[in-house]
Amino acid sequence: RIVAEALRLGFRHIDTAQMYDNEREVGEGLRASGVNRDEVFVTTKVWTTHFAPNDLERSVKESLKQLRLAQIDLVLLHWPNPRVPLAETLGALANVRRLGMARHIGVSNFTVALIEQAVALCPEPLVCDQVEYHPYLDQAKVLEACRRHDMALVAYSPVAKGRIKNDRALEQIGARYGKTAAQVSLRWLVQQGVAVIPRTSRIERLSENLEIFDFTLSDDEMRQIFAMG
Catalytic residue annotation:
20
CA-closest candidate to residue 50, choices 100, 89, 94, 24:
89
Nearest-angstrom CA–CA distance, 222 and 24: 39
Nearest-angstrom CA–CA distance, 200 and 159: 11
CA-closest candidate to residue 41, choices 75, 8, 18, 78:
75
Tell me the H-state helices in the chain.
Answer: 2-9, 23-33, 53-67, 86-98, 112-121, 140-148, 168-175, 181-190, 203-210, 219-226
Nearest-angstrom CA–CA distance, 76 and 121: 15
**Phi and psi (nearest 5°) for 9?**
-75, -25
